[in-house]
């Protein structure tokens, strides 16, 4: 399947909405079409992008309107467009619903206009998005563990696998179609960023996908993939965990460790500077007393890894 902007039918009534190049903020979404009703997996980072997506889906949703939205996790590139579908039931894990209140879009709108070094850094990552006028519509239904939904005669299974990327990551399975929407448990072509951790939970989520009877795998960022794509992410996380542990046990500081680890085969992945966050998160799970830097410092470190000197 081509990795191009727009809606792609990956199986009968199972659509992926893809936004190349899958880098910071360029997320995917999904549409599961039942008889007379549809389920939307995630909205996008701003209102303009979400409206463009809903327009691309409109010939389908005219007959099967979106009755349910699932937010796979709380990052803005998966829920900031919620207000455009707030007539629907919005479903998320309880942990995600809590986390969705923590990063107000108005703060990102202000950072996008901020002068000086912090504003410049923010715009380097997120300058292409418009955070004005966003009021996040919060979930109207939450769950923990697992939840089965029925969408126009189709069964959809939600499985909470967080904390991993965030505190409440959810996988969205459509068993009869052998399909899964993974949210940011998968970045394909890009580097995963482990904000919450522990990395072990994320590795377990990869194992769960590999053990499931699925062949159509839609990541949160990047092209539609297969189980080999899942294994690659698992291998990366396992590699980072092992390399971080050696350095932690040797007494090396987390930021020094991130600069010391040679990514070798993983260095060609997009956003490889996310290693800085991933090593820090690994340190936090190895040592509960470890103090992580604030989010501005985290972005500085990612930038520095990708732009040395």
In the bound state with Zn ion, the residue whose beta carbon lies nearer, of 26 and 283, is: 26
When binding is defined by CB under 5 A, the residue of 26, 34, 43, 77 that contacts Zn ion is 77
Q: Is 99 in the site for Zn ion (CB under 5 A)?
A: no
- What binding mask, one character per residue, do residues 216-235 give for Zn ion by CB under 5 A, x or -? ----x---------------
In the bound state with Zn ion, the residue whose beta carbon lies nearer, of 95 and 254, is: 95
Shortest distance, position 28 Cβ to Zn ion, whole Å: 8
User: Which region holds residue 190: left if phi is over 0, alpha if psi is between -120 and 50, else beta?
Assistant: beta
Shortest distance, position 120 Cβ to Zn ion, whole Å: 22
Judged by CB under 5 A, the chain residues 129 through 168 that form the site for Zn ion are none
Shortest distance, position 45 Cβ to Zn ion, whole Å: 8
Query: Which span sits near Zn ion by CB under 5 A: 5-13, 27-35, 258-266, 287-295?
Result: 27-35
In the bound state with Zn ion, the residue whose beta carbon lies nearer, of 184 and 280, is: 184
When binding is defined by CB under 5 A, the residue of 42, 184, 271, 280 that contacts Zn ion is 184
In the bound state with Zn ion, the residue whose beta carbon lies nearer, of 24 and 283, is: 24
Angle at 181 between CA 177 and CA 185, to 5 degrees: 145
When binding is defined by CB under 5 A, the residue of 14, 17, 26, 27 that contacts Zn ion is 27
Binding site for Zn ion (CB under 5 A): 27, 75, 77, 184, 220
């Amino acid at each position: 399947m081509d990795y191009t902007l727009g809606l792609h039918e990956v199986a009968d009534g199972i659509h992926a909405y893809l936004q190349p190049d899958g880098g910071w903020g360029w997320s995917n979404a999904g549409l599961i079409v039942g008889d007379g009703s549809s389920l939307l997996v995630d909205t996008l980072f701003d209102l303009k992008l979400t409206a463009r997506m809903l327009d691309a889906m409109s010939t389908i949703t005219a007959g099967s309107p979106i009755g349910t939205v699932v937010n796979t996790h709380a990052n803005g590139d998966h829920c900031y467009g919620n207000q455009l579908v707030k007539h629907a039931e919005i479903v998320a894990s309880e942990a995600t619903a809590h986390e969705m209140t923590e990063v107000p879009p108005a703060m990102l709108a202000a950072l996008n206009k901020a002068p000086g070094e912090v504003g410049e850094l923010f715009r380097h990552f997120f300058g292409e998005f418009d955070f004005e006028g966003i009021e996040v519509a919060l979930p109207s239904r939450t769950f923990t563990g697992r939840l089965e939904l029925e969408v126009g005669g189709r069964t959809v299974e939600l499985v909470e696998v967080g904390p991993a990327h965030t505190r409440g990551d959810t996988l969205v399975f459509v068993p009869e179609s052998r399909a899964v929407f993974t949210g940011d448990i998968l970045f394909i072509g890009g580097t995963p960023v482990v904000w919450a951790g522990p990395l072990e939970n994320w590795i377990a989520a990869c194992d769960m996908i590999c053990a499931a009877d699925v062949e159509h795998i839609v990541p949160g960022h990047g092209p539609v993939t297969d189980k080999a794509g899942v294994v690659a992410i698992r291998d990366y996380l396992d590699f980072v965990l092992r390399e971080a542990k050696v350095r932690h046990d040797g007494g090396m500081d987390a930021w020094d460790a991130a600069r010391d680890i040679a990514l070798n085969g993983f260095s060609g992945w997009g956003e490889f500077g996310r290693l800085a966050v991933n090593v820090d998160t690994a340190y936090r799970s190895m040592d509960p007393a470890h103090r992580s830097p604030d989010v501005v410092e985290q972005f500085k470190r990612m930038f520095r890894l990708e732009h040395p000197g």
